[in-house]
C-alpha cells in the first residue's frame, strides 16, 4: 500500500485522465470523480439506433508530445492506440467552386494547392509554413511543454527564454501576419481558420497561433481506429492498471480549503478528506463554484473573454460522396464576416461547415453500412449570446450547405444534435465555450491559469481551459504538467 497521500481528481476528461495515468504510474493513490455516467469529457461517444459515434474532437495531432506523455507512464502510444494516417486528410471547399486537399505529406499538399491556385500561392504557403515552424520550435519547449509562462519565469530562463520570445511573433496579430505573407484569399481563409482551434478571432489573436499551420500541415493529423473516445479509454486503462479508481455520477460541489490549503472535497453532500486535488473542470467552474474565494489574477477575467461554442450534428449517410474526405471544410463567400458575427454575440448567417466522416476517419463502420458524418458550425458562447438561433434551424443550415456542395446526400438521416446550451449544461459554468478563454490578446500565453495554484496549496489544474490551452493534445499536456508539478519537490 502506498504511503503517499491520496489524490482526488475532479473530472474524467482527457486532462484529468492524463493526470491520473501519470500520477498512478508514479505510485500515487488516485481516485477520479466524474459527474457524468461515462468517462471522456468532451471526447465522448454516443449510441443511437445501434450506431456508435464520437460527439467531440475528431483529429489527433502532436504525436511526438503525446508519446512523451505515454512514455512518462511507462507505455507506448502505438501500443495503446491504433492511429490512422490519411493520404488525403482535409478537403477545403470554397464558395467560388475552388477546392484543394491537404495531405499527410506536405509536398503533396503544395502540389494540390498549385494545381488549384497556381505556383505563387504554393510558394507562399511553403514560406508561411517555414515561418510557422520557427514559431512552434521556439514555443514548444518554453510555452507548451513547460509550466505556465510568466514574465518573471521567462526572464529567469535568461537568453534562451528571451530568444524564444523574440521568435514566436507574439507582438503581431495572427491575421495581419498572414496577410503580409500570403496574398491568396483562399489560403488566407485556410490559415485564419486555425484561430478556431482554440475558439479565437484571427484579427485579435497573437500571431504565435500561426504555429498551428506547421503542426497540422507539416506534422500531420491522424484518426484513431474505433474513434477518438479510444483515447480517454486508453488513458484510463493505464491509470486503472496502476491502481487508480474511477467513480461515476459524483457531484463535487466544493473544494474544502483551510488556511489556504486543500483539506478535502464535498462529494454528493459528504466530505472526502484529501491533501491534493487536481481539477479537470472548466476554470470558471473553479472560480464560480468550487473554490471562489481563493481565485485571483487572470482567473478573474470577464466571461466576455470566452472562446466560441458550437452547434453539432451526426448523420448516417447511406449514399456515397465522391467529395467527402476524412475531414471537409466548406467555407462561405466571406469568412471574415463569420468572425465578426461570432465575437459580436451573433450566430453567423453563412457559417463555415466542418464535416468529419467518422467511417473514413476512425473506421467507425455501422453494421448496416453507410457512413457516420459529424458536422460542426461555430457559435458564440452563451455569456455573449444568451439567445441563439434554434438548433433545428442551424442543423438544417449545416445540412443544406453540405448537400448543395455535394458532401452529404439529401436523404442523410439525423441521428444526434447538440447546441451551446447543451454544452453549458454538461460542463458547469462554461457558458458553452469549448476552449475556456479565447486567445484574443498579445499576452494570451500569460493569461491562462497555470497548472498549480499559487493561492491554494494542494490545488492543481489539468484541463483545456488551463495552461497550455484547448484541444485534445493541449489538454493532455495540461494533465501531464499538473502531475509533474504535483510530484515535484
Q: What is the DSSP string of 50-107?
A: TEEEE-S---B--HHHHHHHHHHTT--HHHH--EEE-SEEEEEE-TTS-EEEEESSHH
Do both 111 and 214 map to the same domain? yes
Do both 250 and 180 map to the same domain? no
Q: What is the pLDDT of residue 438?
A: 85
Do both 208 and 242 map to the same domain? no
Q: What is the pLDDT of residue 368?
A: 92
Q: What is the pLDDT of residue 303?
A: 42
Do both 182 and 245 map to the same domain? no
Q: If you write DSSP's letter for every residue of 428-479 in order, what string do you get?
A: TTSTT-SSSB---STTHHHHS--SB-SSSBTEEE-STTSTT-SSHHHHHHHH
Considering only CA atoms, which of 128, 86, 79 is closest in space to residue 108? 86
Does any domain span residue 290? yes
Neighbours of 419 (CB within 10 A): 22
Does any domain span residue 211? yes
Domains contained in the chain, number = 2
Do both 250 and 297 map to the same domain? yes
Does any domain span residue 184? yes
Joined grid coordinates for residue 314: 451526426
Does any domain span residue 250? yes
Q: What is the pLDDT of residue 390?
A: 98
Q: What is the pLDDT of residue 302?
A: 44
pTM of the model: 0.95
Torsion of CA 236, 239, 240, 241, to 10 degrees: 120
Do both 233 and 141 map to the same domain? no
Do both 214 and 257 map to the same domain? no
Polymer length of the chain: 489
Do both 214 and 242 map to the same domain? no
Strands of the sheet containing 459-461, edge to edge, are: 245-247, 30-33, 7-10, 276-279, 459-461
Question: CATH number, domain at 241?
Answer: 3.50.50.60
Do both 112 and 201 map to the same domain? yes
Q: What is the pLDDT of residue 162?
A: 66
Do both 441 and 295 map to the same domain? yes
Does any domain span residue 473? yes
Do both 207 and 129 map to the same domain? yes
How is residue 173 annotated by DSSP? B
**Coil vs helix vs strand at 221:** coil
Does any domain span residue 122? yes
CA distances from 59 to 311, 408, 429 (A): 18, 20, 26
Tell me which of 218, 237, 254 is where a domain ends: 218
For residue 213, the enclosing domain spans 107-218
Tell me which of 190, 218, 246 is where a domain ends: 218
Per-residue pLDDT of the chain (489 residues), as tens digits, is: 567 889 999 999 999 999 999 999 999 999 999 999 999 999 999 999 999 999 999 999 999 999 999 999 999 999 999 999 999 999 999 999 999 999 999 999 999 999 999 999 999 999 999 999 999 999 999 889 998 776 666 656 665 666 777 899 989 999 999 999 999 999 999 999 999 999 999 999 999 999 999 999 999 999 999 999 999 999 999 999 999 999 999 999 999 999 999 999 999 999 999 999 999 999 889 989 999 865 655 445 444 478 999 999 999 999 989 999 999 999 999 999 999 999 999 999 999 999 999 999 999 999 999 999 999 999 999 999 999 999 999 999 999 999 999 999 999 999 999 999 999 999 999 999 999 888 887 776 667 889 999 899 999 999 999 999 999 999 999 999 999 999 996
Does any domain span residue 348? no
Q: What is the pLDDT of residue 158?
A: 61
Do both 131 and 173 map to the same domain? yes
Tell me which of 166, 197, 218 is where a domain ends: 218
Does any domain span residue 337? no
Amino acid at each position: 500500500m502506498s504511503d503517499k497521500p491520496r489524490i482526488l481528481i475532479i473530472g474524467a476528461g482527457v486532462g484529468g485522465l492524463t493526470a491520473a495515468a501519470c500520477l498512478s504510474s508514479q505510485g500515487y493513490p488516485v481516485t477520479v470523480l466524474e459527474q457524468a455516467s461515462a468517462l471522456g469529457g468532451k471526447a465522448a461517444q454516443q449510441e443511437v439506433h445501434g450506431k456508435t459515434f464520437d460527439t467531440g474532437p475528431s483529429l489527433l495531432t502532436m504525436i511526438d508530445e503525446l508519446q512523451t506523455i505515454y512514455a512518462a507512464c511507462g507505455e507506448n502510444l502505438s501500443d495503446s492506440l491504433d492511429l490512422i494516417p490519411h493520404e488525403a486528410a482535409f478537403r477545403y471547399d470554397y464558395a467560388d467552386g475552388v477546392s484543394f486537399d491537404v495531405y499527410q505529406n506536405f509536398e503533396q499538399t503544395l502540389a494540390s494547392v498549385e494545381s488549384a491556385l497556381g505556383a505563387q500561392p504554393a510558394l507562399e504557403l511553403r514560406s508561411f509554413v517555414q515561418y510557422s515552424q520557427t514559431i512552434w520550435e521556439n514555443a514548444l519547449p518554453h510555452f507548451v511543454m513547460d509550466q505556465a509562462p510568466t514574465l518573471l519565469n521567462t526572464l529567469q530562463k535568461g537568453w534562451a527564454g528571451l530568444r524564444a520570445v523574440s521568435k514566436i511573433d507574439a507582438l503581431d496579430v495572427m491575421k495581419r501576419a498572414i496577410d503580409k505573407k500570403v496574398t491568396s484569399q483562399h489560403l488566407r481563409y485556410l490559415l485564419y481558420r486555425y484561430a478556431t482551434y482554440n475558439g479565437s478571432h484571427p484579427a485579435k489573436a497573437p500571431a504565435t497561433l500561426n504555429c498551428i499551420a506547421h503542426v497540422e500541415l507539416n506534422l500531420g493529423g491522424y484518426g484513431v481506429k474505433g474513434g477518438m473516445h479510444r483515447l480517454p479509454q486508453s488513458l484510463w486503462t493505464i491509470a486503472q492498471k496502476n491502481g487508480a479508481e474511477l467513480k461515476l455520477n459524483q457531484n463535487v460541489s466544493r473544494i474544502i480549503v483551510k488556511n489556504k490549503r486543500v483539506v478535502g472535497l464535498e462529494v454528493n453532500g459528504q466530505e472526502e478528506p484529501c491533501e491534493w486535488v487536481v481539477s479537470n473542470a472548466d476554470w470558471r467552474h473553479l472560480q464560480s463554484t468550487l473554490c471562489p474565494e481563493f481565485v485571483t489574477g487572470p482567473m478573474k477575467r470577464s466571461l466576455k473573454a470566452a472562446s466560441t461554442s458550437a452547434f453539432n450534428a451526426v448523420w448516417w449517410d447511406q449514399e456515397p460522396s465522391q467529395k467527402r474526405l476524412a475531414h471537409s471544410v466548406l467555407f462561405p463567400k466571406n469568412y471574415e464576416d463569420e468572425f465578426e458575427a461570432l465575437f459580436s454575440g451573433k450566430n453567423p448567417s453563412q457559417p463555415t461547415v466542418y464535416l468529419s466522416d467518422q467511417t473514413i476517419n476512425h473506421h467507425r463502420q455501422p453494421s448496416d453500412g453507410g457512413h457516420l458524418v459529424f458536422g460542426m458550425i461555430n457559435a458564440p458562447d452563451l455569456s455573449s449570446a444568451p439567445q441563439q438561433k434554434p438548433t433545428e434551424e442551424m442543423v438544417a443550415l449545416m445540412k443544406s450547405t453540405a448537400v448543395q456542395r455535394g458532401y452529404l446526400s439529401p436523404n442523410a438521416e439525423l441521428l444526434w444534435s447538440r447546441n451551446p446550451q447543451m454544452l453549458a449544461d454538461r460542463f458547469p459554468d462554461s457558458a458553452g465555450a469549448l476552449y475556456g478563454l479565447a486567445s484574443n490578446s498579445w499576452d494570451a500565453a500569460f493569461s491562462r491559469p497555470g497548472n498549480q495554484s499559487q493561492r491554494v496549496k494542494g490545488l492543481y489544474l489539468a484541463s483545456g481551459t488551463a495552461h497550455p490551452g484547448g484541444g485534445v493534445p493541449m489538454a493532455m499536456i495540461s494533465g501531464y504538467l499538473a502531475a509533474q508539478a504535483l510530484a515535484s519537490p
